[in-house]
Structures are given as C-alpha cells and as structure tokens.
Chains A and B, each alone.
Chain A
Amino acid sequence: MSHASMYQSPEAVAFGQRLNHLQGPLFGFVQGMIGDQEQARDIVQDVFVDAWRLASRGAPPFTRENDEPGARRWLFHAAYWRAASVARRARVIRWEPLDTSEASVHEPYVEQHPFEDRVIEGVALRQALATLSAEDAACILLSVVQVMHSSEIAQVLGISAEAAKKRVTRAKQRLRAAYLAQEARTMEEHAQ
C-alpha cells in the first residue's frame, strides 16, 4: 500500500485524530515519569510508531470499531513499559524511606504557601516526583492527571486492581512527604 493511499484510508484518518488527541496526555505522563522532555518525546513517538503498525493492519485495539478506551489503555501501557525501563536503567529513582502510616500523624504542620509561590511549588513538585519509583510516579500521574480508576490503572501497569488502589494511596503519601521535605530544604536555603 502506498504512503499516499494509506494516508487517505479510514484507519489513517482515525489514527491521526487519536494521535492529535492523545499525544499531549501521553507526553505529560512520560515526562512525569522520567523527567526528560527530549526522551519523553522520543518515547511517545516510538509508542505511536508501534501503534501505527497495528492500526495499519487493523489489529486490535486499533480496529475500525474504534475502541477508544482500549486504544487509550494500550498507548499508556506501552508508554509505561518504555518509560519505566528508561527510568530504571537511568537509576534516577531515589527512594525516600517513609513509614506512611506514621507520617500522617507525626509530620510537622506546614503553612500553605500563597498563590504567587505556585511556580516554585511546581519545580519542587517535579523534584519530589523524581524521588519516587517509576511505578509510584505512574500510579499518581494516571490517577490524578489522567483521572483513571484503579481498575484501569491496573490494566496499564499489569497489576491487580487491589494493588493499584493501594499503590495510588501510598504513592500519594510518599509524594506528599517528599514534597514537604523538598519545601523544607528550599526554605532552609532561602533562610541562609
């Protein structure tokens, strides 16, 4: 099949719409997991190349029936595996020891920061997210940013729904602890 005729095919049109619709969320997800924008773009591109191979053959979930949730899950699953592999290999993960059940009642009270500090909070949040494991970061991003239910997260990550729900809870607790630690360090630096 020629390039031009494929571009006009219904599969190509549907795939093009999906590409436009999902590349942004997919990029945000991968970037959140690995931090590096250039690598995130590469991964998203690779994922869509793999997806197009399936779509051009009419293979599930990229069939004419337009299984939108299935296609979305497939794309995030493929991106997750690639990003997790990169993150693990790069060893950018740093584990913050934390007993989460203790942390919820013994951590110090921290005043909320005013709105004008939001930009700084964003930077601190990125740094805090980078301290989590790839799996934890993925759970948070899928739950909070992509608004996926634990049953859907389970399919993306290849774990049970029960494990996904537990992981989301613990990951958010870890992120909060890492963020507070990051904030404390920042405030300490400002004070000096």
Chain B
Amino acid sequence: MLLVKNLKCYYGRIVAIKGVSMSVRKGELISLIGANGSGKSTFLQAICGLIPGLEGEITFEDVSLKGLDPPAIVQKGISMVPEGRLVFAPLTTLDNLKLGAYTIYRKKLHKYVKKDLEMVMELFPILRKRAYQQAGTLSGGEQQMLAIGRALMARPRLLVLDEPSMGLAPLLVEKILETLVMLRNKGLTILLVEQNARAALKISDRGYVLETGKIVLQGASSDLLADVEVKRAYLGKDYAEFYEGRA
C-alpha cells in the first residue's frame, strides 16, 4: 500500500534520513520505533508532504506522493495525527471534528460526515460529552482522542500517528493503543511512530527500528520484542548487563 524506497531528507546540509526503505501492506499495523533524534518524525513528515526537496520514492497505492502538499496527500487517503496533538484549541470539539472532514465536505459528500461523526463519537464516547466545549479545555488524553478522531474524519485508508502516547498516563496510553488495534481490526491500515517501543511493538504486526536516519532492524513485532539488541537500546531491559559489559 505504502512503499518507501531509499528516502533521503535534508535539513540544510544535515542529512536527517539517510536512505530508508520500508513498506506497509493493506490492513497492517506497523510500528516505527527509535530514540530521540533518530529521524522518526522527519520520516513521517516526509510521507505527509511537509518536507520539500526529498530524494527517493514514496508511493501510495501505486501513485507517487512526491511534490504533493499535505492537503493533496490527505485527499489521496493518508491522514496524520501530529505530534503534540495540535487540536484547534479555541474551537469546539465538534468544530475540530468537522474541520477534519474538510476534504470530504469539499467533495460534496456531506452524508458521510454525519455517519463518520457518529462513528468517532462511538469510538471515543467522551468526545460526545465534550462536543460543545473548547478543545483547549480538554485533558491531554481527550485531546489525543480528538486528534485521532479529527484524522479519521477525512476517511483515510492509511492512518499515521506521531507519538500518540507522549505525555499521557499509562492507562490512557493503553486505551489509545487498544483503539488503534480496534481500528486495524476494522480494516484500517496504521503506521505508528513511537518512542514507547514496548507498547508499540506489543500491538503491531511488524516493526522497524530507526537509528540516526537508518533502519537498523526490521521484522515481526514479536521477534523484535524478543531481540536483545532492541531490548537493550529501546526497551530498557537488561541495563545491568549493558553496563556490566562496558564498566
């Protein structure tokens, strides 16, 4: 579905992504993990059209995404839940969701919007309660749900999430990730970028590990979870052995 070949991104003269290739098949939940500054967010921004002048190939459903701006990519069927949620704070929850359907409205498909609103409210019942509240007054978890809901309103075929667990209590993280599994089971393809590697790998089908702009490991999530390397670097286990080796 999504195919990335030898992607390179530059910030000025600094290379942030040094030739990444990866693929997402229809119906998969893929996690992309890596530490701070490994290039995860840059990679997602490249897919969503936020980075001009990238090298390599990005194709979605056999159509190249190169040179398209974010609204065009949303129309192609990729929606992003941005890092830090970025809800429209002074607008109401309902308005936020309706704006998520902007491209749908512009295609004159108003009948879908009502159905989708119902679907999102079903998925996150708390949003129904907060419908007429300013989005800025919602709690962090609620805002994350709203951000996911807003992205879903554009009827994506691929949902891309940038660090949805950031700054949330563990219980909420679990709830959000459960929702993602539910969406996947309904047939949505999901690409999840996370620092919380263990949680991400637990729910995903396959995983990629990004390190300083390169993919250093990939495979089935269960394999990655078991992989000692990943454990040491990202899952925080075996620290004792790790330090013993170098002391």
Chain A partners chain B: no
